[in-house]
Structure 1
């Protein structure tokens, strides 16, 4: 009887062995770590750009123009070109030059003043929040002004200063849009028909740029 039981146990072991070997041969399944998506590249403001702008100005005459009560205002439009450099800490420095044709004019007491064109050459300092760029700016301003007084006309090219700030947003990697305020003081020059006169004005503008 014992021999029969031993024989049966040996036979069962022989039958089960191939099955166990087959199970051991199967590759074990282990959890696979999910792949981490690469982070989107951070936008950089560094580079040259060119663009266009349009806006409105309101101000006052200086010197004799102020004495006669002349307060010019009106629309303007033009273009700009510049370069930005963004540091690793997101601080930004840049330089920009712009030129606008204008219809900024005013009349009082038979005296008319009209700013034919004006422009600026400015430094910019900002801090980039990825695609948002708030900044301050300031530098040189210039423009040609014409004054008519009782039929007599004289023109002068003024050189003064400007200061202001703005907010720019990168719509795509190449196109940006901005809103900007500048105070422009063109000082005074001597006009043959009225004496020392000039213009100072606040300007608000919007613009677009293409960054290379």
Structure 2
């Protein structure tokens, strides 16, 4: 093999190596595919306890006309605050069922224009079913069940009686998950507590209804 041939082969080899190196430098790794984001979920299954507060308004109806005409209505309003407990169960991929109970201190009442008589709801409670849609980090729901209200009537300080009404309640709400075991709960409910007989200067029937808007916080365990 001549010296020229050897030199030519060497040059080709060097050129090939340089080309390969240059081509390798031009290769840019494709960016790694971003990991899929996990769907936000409230992980609603399980028992919980919580606290809430809100505003209530409603109507006391004088069924027998003790203070006026039969069926006369008197407005009531005020604040309430209480505790709740319950549990949720996943029924299907999108449906969450549950049970809930609550009890609240209340100061929801009023009086006649002259102040001759007063009425006040002292506490309320409920035992309800819930059915919601699992929206991940939020849970809109409907709710309904039994409702209780303890109410006092006072007539000019001469007659006073306290009775506990038992009726029904229904409403809607939505929970927002803010941590793995913490959620905020906004709720509206209408309650019809039915009629109860009060002993004043005789026996008289009064019925009670209310609306309530509450905000609360629940802790799952």
User: 1:52, CA displacement in angstroms?
Assistant: 0.9
Farther-moved stretch of structure 1 (53-62 vs 66-75): 66-75
Asked whether 1:199 is paired with 2:208, we answer yes
Query: Which whole-Å CA distance do the structure 1 matches of 2:28 and 2:159 have between them?
Result: 94
Matched position secondary structure for 1:118:
strand
Map 1:117-128 → 2, pairs under 5 A = 117-128=123-134
Counterparts of residues 1-212 of structure 1 (less than 5 Å): 7-12=2-7, 15=10, 19=14, 31=29, 34-40=32-38, 42-43=40-41, 44-62=43-61, 63-64=63-64, 67=71, 69-108=73-112, 110-150=116-156, 151-193=158-200, 194-212=203-221
Normalised by the length of structure 1, the TM-score is 0.83
Q: Distance in 2 between matches of 1:128 and 1:107?
A: 44
Instruction: Tell me if the contact between 2:100 and 2:130 (Cα under 8 Å) persists in the aligned partners.
Output: yes
In structure 1, runs of 5+ residues without a counterpart are 1-5
Give 1:211 deviation, angstroms.
2.0
Shift of 1:75: 0.8
**Aligned counterparts of 2:153 and 2:8: Cα–Cα separation in 1:** 116
Return the alpha-carbon distance in structure 1 between the equivalents of residues 16 and 73 of structure 2. 106
Q: How many residues are paired up?
A: 207
Tell me the distance in 2 between the aligned counterparts of 1:125 and 1:162.
Answer: 14
Query: Whose Rg is larger?
Result: 1
Structure 1 residue 83: Cα displacement = 1.1
Q: Is the 8 A contact 2:39 2:136 kept in 1?
A: no
3-state SS, counterpart of residue 73 of structure 1: strand
- Of 36-45 and 10-19, more deviation after overlay is shown by 10-19
1:198 CA drift (Å): 2.4
